Amino acid sequence: MTFGVTDIGRKRKINQDAFLKDDELQLYIVADGMGGHRGGEVASQLAVEVIRKFCQQNHQLSGREILDKGTNLACEEIYKQSMQNDELSGMGTTVLALLFQQDAVFIAQVGDSRAYLLNEKGIWQITEDHSLLNEEIRAGRLDAGQAASFQFRNVITRSVGYERHVAVDIYRRKVNPGDCYVLCTDGLSGLVEINEIADQINQNGVETGLKNLVNLANERGGDDNITALVCRVASD
């Protein structure tokens, strides 16, 4: 079962997030755009469309190749358009893409959108944020308790489209029945705790749980656009 939702939040005038739920291709993407008046909106939508088209046309490739090459093709297209249009100058986007292929799932990540794995054993964050905040925590200059007050916590260190090419982190996992993958932008992960994600989905199911999480993020300020997508692997 898959379900996705996007919400403008409480503070932004436009929604610069985008998501894709393609059950036929078994491809799922969330993207958080940034830059200018329209730049972020254009960048996130471009990323989703280019990766989807590349996957559709190159399904014979491995999941790792599809996501790496597709994301970099999107990166090049976003960069090119930002160079050609002053209104789109400097635009970019995070990309978090999940592709099921046979008995494996491949996850591609650039930026600070996150993927979590939820199953009967608990919930884990699979991806690692490409953000200044995460770099400070890893370097020991900041602890997790100081994250909320960190001045530059929304600064990402890697994005799709800011330069012509980008390094894409690719994760591969074996697919197990009942596994539940949660993909979200920082509009959700920045305001909702990981255990709250698990509790809502476990107690209320995929669709209602996800809607409740979006509402919770909005109740806590809704500082950013909020996008989340859940893919639950069928149980035997």
- Render pLDDT for 162-186 as a digit per residue (tens, 0 to 9): 999 999 999 999 999 999 999 999 9
pLDDT of amino acid 234: 85
- Where residue 156 falls among pLDDT bands split at 50, 70, 90? confident
- Where residue 138 falls among pLDDT bands split at 50, 70, 90? low
Task: Look at the pTM and tell me if it is higher than 0.95.
Answer: no
- Where residue 1 falls among pLDDT bands split at 50, 70, 90? confident
Which domains, from first to last, does the chain contain? 2-232 (3.60.40.10)
What's the CA angle centered on 71, arms 193 and 189, to 5 degrees? 10
- Where residue 3 falls among pLDDT bands split at 50, 70, 90? very high
Q: Which of the 8 DSSP states describes residue 159?
A: -
Per-chain mean pLDDT for the chain: 91
Does position 149 have pLDDT exceeding 60, yes or no? no
